[in-house]
Structures are given as structure tokens and as C-alpha cells.
Amino acid sequence: PEEGLQEQAVPQEASAAAANSVSAVWCDVPGGDGELVQLAEEREEEQPFALPRDVQERLYAYQRQGVAWLARLYRKQQGGILADEMGLGKTVQVCALLNGVRRAGAKRALVLLPVTLLQQWAREAETWCP
């Protein structure tokens, strides 16, 4: 590991539980203005999390999984850390989540970030949650 970081084993049961927590399902949902797609089908009765089709289609599969996981945490009012490596689209995933959260009725969101990333976030927000 890099200096200052420590490796820590994750129990196999925890890894399996995390992997089985969300099943991604993609289906057409009839709709007027944006043709929404269902992002994740939960094992429990929950409202589906929907994104505009054009946003969903531009995400890579691993990003769709990340957004589905974040959406599940959001619905359960739980926190989480999206710790993908640099360059894999964490900003994009959070912007896509905010797009879906807004469609679900949220009026505001607070995003804390370093000042050095402010312009990047502004550009990504225009692209992913117009």
C-alpha cells in the first residue's frame, strides 16, 4: 500500500452481502418528457429510482452500479463512501444521483468539495444534471 495507507481485510460474508444488496435491472418506463429508466430494483418494496434515458445510456456499467448503490443508501437515509480510483467518474456518479434525487422530489443538496474541484463540478453538473 501507499505510504500512510493500511490494507485491511474485509470478511468474506461482508463482501458477499454487499455484492448481493442491489440487483440492477434496466427496463423501459413509459413516460412523457424524458423516457425514464428504472435504475435499481430492490428486494424490498421501495420506490424505483429513475434517471433520464440519455443520462443512463452515457454511464458505464460500473457507474450505473455505483449510482444504484448510492440511490439505495439515499432511500435508506444511510451514508456511504464512493471510493473508486481517480478518473473512474465519481463526480459523474454523484451528479447522476443528484439528477435522480431531484426527480424524486428533493429540492436541495449540499456537496462539499475542495475549491480546486469547483470548476470541474460545475461542468459535470451542467452535463449530468441540467
Strands 23-24 and 36-38: unpaired
Which among 120, 126, 119, 129 is positioned nearest to 86, based on CA atoms? 120
Quick check: is 120 in a domain? yes
Quick check: is 7 in a domain? no
The tally of domains found in the chain comes to 1
Provide CB contacts within 8 A for 44, sequence distance 6+: none
Domain range for 117 is: 20-128
pTM: 0.61
Quick check: is 14 in a domain? no
Provide CB contacts within 8 A for 103, sequence distance 6+: 36, 50, 51, 52
pLDDT digits (tens, 9 = 90+) for 97-128: 998 888 888 888 888 889 998 999 899 888 88
